[in-house]
Amino acid sequence: MAKFQYTARTQEGKIESNIIDAPSIEAAISILQNQRLIITDIKPFSEAKEFALDILVGRLLAIFNRVKQEEIVLFTKQLAVLIQAKVPLVQSLRVMVKQVKNPQFSKIIGSIADDVDAGMIFSRALAKYPKVFSNFFIQMIRSGEISGRLEETLTYLSEYINRQYLLNSKVKGAMIYPAFIVATFIMVGAAMLIWVVPSLTSILTESGQKLPFVTRLLIGSSNFMKSWGWLLFIILFIAIYFIAAAIRKSFEWRYAYDGLKLRLPIFGDLLKKIYLARFSETLSTLSSAGIAISQSLEITAEVVGNAVYRRIIIEANEAVRKGSNISAVFARHPEILPMVTQMVYIGEQTGKLDTILKQVAVFFTEEVNRAFDNLVNLIEPILIVVLGVGVGILVAAILLPIYNLVNTF
């Protein structure tokens, strides 16, 4: 029985690296496929030196030299320009090795160039790095190779990735400002409760007067934070760590978390539009590239980025394999907006699903951009009101008893 080292993608989209015992590499591939794993690389274990150390080093490099999405965008754009200029693929990749600033990414591109130079097709070489190049990226490159339109595919890929990057950046950018303000307010409030408030309230308690409820509440909170604040922060940190770990490792936890996000007021509807725009554009792109609808749905399920929508898309894929329609599955799920269901139904009936989904993606992208612009304009006054109320309560808790104390004289 021989040993084989493999890297594969699970149905949930996670990357798995391990060793398997099998009589031959064909048998190992068959075993892994029966486990519903998508194999990206497999080789005899004897060729893998210090396997455990390689995995550890690889994980450390992934943390410190992670390839960012904007680097993928720039790489794809520049490679498309070189290919359009009729520069051979291997030579273009060698040029990109020198252009890329990230040393880890440069090393990966150099390895890909070596594989292509040795006779491996480009998409297969990319598939060896599933943490850098998504399955969607690889399948699009493969379709470009088959159709002989690699330069056009690279150009479209760079535009697609750039649109997704800008959308994700807009989401993160809109959240950074309020998150920073709220975090700062919490830290300043905790510091005041621990160090400032006790010195101010000691005068009030010594006066012997009956303190207002808001002042007693402030003093109680101050005493609690001073005595047990450290324990509260430790408990919160541990709870957040374990919840985040459970969400990463358990599909059910991830499904519950993603479902909760979709039910949030205001943000829930916005997130639905983001995921539906991503679904529409990805499926439209893959379908127009000539990739079979079943395979396109499998890839889209990995790309969409939400466990709830992933399960719906997988269910739709199973229905398609049995001869049913995507729209019939979508109609059963409230997470799919009625407009999308109707448009998909029209696309299926007219045979122009990719064209109609492209229009849906454009529509929802514009909706998301408008919604974010309005949200950003609303966040600042809302934060001012919330912070004003918090400061007002704090000031009232201190000034009210001082005012009552002055009036007694």
16 and 82, same domain (yes or no)? no
Say if residue 363's pLDDT is above 70: yes
Residues 6+ apart with CB under 8 A from 42: 4, 5, 6, 7, 25, 28, 29, 32
Distance CA 261, CA 275 (A): 12
Q: Which helix (H) or strand (E) holds 74?
A: helix 69-84
Same domain for 101 and 43: no
Last residue of a domain, one of 138, 162, 186: 162
Domain annotation covers residue 167: no
Q: Calculate the alpha carbon distances from 198 to 194, 202, 222, 238 in Å.
A: 7, 6, 7, 28
pLDDT at 51 over 70: no
Per-residue burial over 154-172, b = 16 or more CB atoms within 10 Å of its CB, e = otherwise: bbbbbebbbbbeebeebbe
Q: Please check whether residues 196 and 333 belong to one and the same domain.
A: yes
For 50, other C-beta atoms within 10 Å of its C-beta total 9
Final residue belonging to a domain, choices 46, 64, 82 = 64
Q: What is the pLDDT of residue 344?
A: 94
- Among 117, 138, 162, where does a domain finish? 162
The count of domains in the chain is 3
Of 56 and 18, the one with more pLDDT = 18
Q: How far apart are CA 102 and CA 33, in angstroms?
A: 34
Count other C-beta atoms under 10 Å from residue 278's C-beta. Answer: 23
Nearest to 193 by CA among 233, 166, 164, 220: 220
Report whether pLDDT(56) > 70.
Answer: no
Closest CA to 258 of 222, 220, 307, 188: 307
Question: Alpha helix (H) ranges present in 209-306?
Answer: 213-249, 251-262, 267-288, 293-303
Q: What is the mean pLDDT of residues 155-175?
A: 79
The CA-based dihedral angle spanning residues 270, 275, 281, 284, taken in that order and rounded to the nearest 10 degrees = -130
Q: Pairing between strand 38-44 and 15-22?
A: unpaired
Whole-angstrom Cα distance, residue 44 to residue 39? 14
> Tell me, what's the pLDDT at 311?
94
Together in a domain, 262 and 346: yes
Q: What percent of the chain has pLDDT over 70?
A: 90
Of 34-43, 48-57, 242-251, give the lowest mean pLDDT range.
48-57
Confidence at residue 46, expressed as pLDDT on a 0 to 100 scale: 58
Specify if 236 maps to a domain. Answer: yes
DSSP assignment of 278-294 equals: HHHHHHHHHHHTT--HH
Same domain for 335 and 305: yes
Instruction: Please give the full DSSP string across 304-341, using - where no structure is assigned.
Output: S--HHHHHHHHHHHHHHHTT--HHHHHTT-TTS-HHHH
Condensed to tens digits (0 to 9), the pLDDT of residues 292-344 reads 898 889 888 888 889 999 999 999 999 999 989 999 999 999 999 999 999 99
Query: For residues 343 and 203, what is the distance between their CA atoms, to the nearest angstrom?
Result: 69
Q: Does 15 share its domain with 101?
A: no
Look up the CATH number of the domain holding residue 27.
3.10.20
141 burial (CB, 10 Å; 0-12 / 13-18 / 19+) is buried
pLDDT digits (tens, 9 = 90+) for 212-261: 788 788 888 888 888 888 888 899 999 998 988 888 888 888 899 999 99
Task: Give the 3-state secondary structure of residue 383.
Answer: helix
**Separation CA 232–CA 263 (nearest Å):** 28
Do 128 and 22 fall within a single domain? no
Residue with tokens 């454009």: 362
pLDDT above 90 as % of the chain: 24
Residue 168, in any domain of the structure: no
Domain of residue 404, CATH code: 1.20.81.30
Same domain, 237 and 287: yes
Mean pLDDT of all residues belonging to the chain: 83
CA 56 to chain centre: 23
Q: Does residue 83 sit in the same domain as residue 190? A: no
Do residues 150 and 209 both lie within one domain?
no
> Are 93 and 54 members of one domain?
no
Q: Is residue 264 part of a domain?
A: yes
Question: Which domain does 74 fall in, by range?
Answer: 69-162
**Structure letter (DSSP) for residue 45:** G
pLDDT tier for residue 48 given thresholds of 50, 70 and 90:
very low
Return the SS3 of 3. Answer: strand
